[in-house]
Amino acid sequence: MESEQKSAVDRKQDHILLAFDSATGIQTLDTRFEYDPVHAVHPKEGELWPAQMAGVSLNYPVWISSMTGGTARAATINQNLARLCGEYKLGMGLGSCRKIIDQPEFLPDFQVRKWLGDQALFANLGLAQIEQWILSGKVHLIGEIIKMTEANGLIIHLNPLQEFMQAEGDRFQNPPIDSIKKILDDFDFPLIVKEVGQGMGPKSMEALLNLPLEAIEFGAYGGTNFALLELMRDHPEKMERFKPLANVGHTAEEMVKMVNDYKSKHSVHCKNLIISGGVQHFLDAYYLMEISKMPSIFGMASAFLKYAMVSYESLQSFFEDQMKGLLLSKAILTIKS
């Protein structure tokens, strides 16, 4: 009782000390939302936000965007990410699985099914690799990768700028849409197509929306930027010369609006969106999912990586707070029309 009184006194003291520092002014107002506290209640402990991907139920609309594999730290990072997916029932994309064929000793980095349980897991390959395998009659390797990783399906990443900026990068010889259609014809596992940090414009999105894809993952502009990242790995003069190209692309908000616009006038064959690229926290995610007229979940890469590199516990604490924020946002905020 005495300590309760003391903590109330401390709190009142803190309020006086911090009141001036906490004044925001009006410039920081987030104008995307209407805040209506009159009818709302707090989310209940343990409340979920069910979603689905590839016929698998998710407890929250969260996708761990494709990242790593084939480096010294990858096994631990992937294990932490996969454990999170298994424990909280999320979906996950693996990082590029090309290494499994080139250097099979790295296969264990990608074998995360044991931590994921039945959750949605997608293998990942770059368009350039797929094109090469199509041209050399080795497309069956894709099926082998799906088997070896026990994945539900495949993500194809489209990264022409990254390939170009990368010193050892590949070149696309045919329009990517042709390779994507060929994979859809040859295999019956679910397919996701994504960018890696520049997003995609309306003509690309329209073409993809017309395909029977499980999802389009944005990999939008505004977060990790692989064109810039590859330039950072190269000689400084390359950075100076090509940097303007790293700044082209489309933000996640722009992409949601282009999909909405298209969907309002046409039928769409793609089933879902994974809104990702520059989504740093739950509030952006909530906003983007709410304005989307397609079934949508959100994906994050670097935000999860930051904690997955440290420990499972830090990743878990970050994730739990993100979900608390997401559910609170859902309870008290609506989108300003």
DSSP at 42 = P
Nearer to ligand FMN, 61 or 197 (CB): 197
How far CA 108 is from CA of 78, 84, 98, 163, 316, in Å, comes to: 10, 18, 13, 26, 23
Our finding on whether 160 is near ligand FMN (CB under 6 A) is no
Candidate list 61, 86, 153, 219; residue touching ligand FMN; CB under 6 A: 219
Query: According to the binding rule CB under 6 A, does residue 196 interact with ligand FMN?
Result: yes
Judged by CB, which is closer to ligand FMN: 302, or 316? 302
| Residue closer to ligand FMN, measured from CB, 29 or 72 | 72
Specify the stretch interacting with ligand FMN by CB under 6 A; choose among 217-225, 233-241, 255-263, 316-324. Answer: 217-225
Decide whether 79 or 224 has the Cβ nearer to ligand FMN. 224
223 near ligand FMN, rule: CB under 6 A: yes
- If one asks whether residue 152 binds ligand FMN (CB under 6 A), the answer comes out as no
* DSSP-based three-state secondary structure for 75: helix
Q: Within the chain, what is the greatest distance between any pair of CA atoms?
A: 78
Q: Supply φ then ψ for residue 30, to 5 degrees.
A: -85, 105
Shorter beta-carbon distance to ligand FMN: residue 43 or 93: 93
Q: Is 153 in the site for ligand FMN (CB under 6 A)?
A: no
Q: How far apart are the two ends of the chain, measured CA to CA in Å?
A: 48
> 273: closest CA among 283, 282, 285?
285
Q: Is 332 in the site for ligand FMN (CB under 6 A)?
A: no
Written as one string, the DSSP assignment of 125-194 is: EEHHHHHHHHHTT-THHHHHHHHHHT-SEEEEEP-HHHHHHSTT-----S-HHHHHHHHHHH--S-EEEE
How many angstroms separate the CA atoms of 176 and 161, rounded? 13
Query: Residue 167 Cβ, how far from ligand FMN at the closest point, in Å?
Result: 17
Cβ at position 225, least distance to ligand FMN in Å: 8
Find the residue with minimal CB distance to ligand FMN.
Answer: 223
With contacts defined by CB under 6 A, name the span among 28-36, 133-141, 294-302, 311-319 that binds ligand FMN.
Answer: 294-302
Give the side-chain half-sphere CA count within 13 A for 66. Answer: 27
Question: Which residues of the shown chain bind ligand FMN in the complex (CB under 6 A)?
Answer: 65-68, 95-96, 124, 157, 194, 196-197, 219, 223-224, 276-279, 300-303, 305
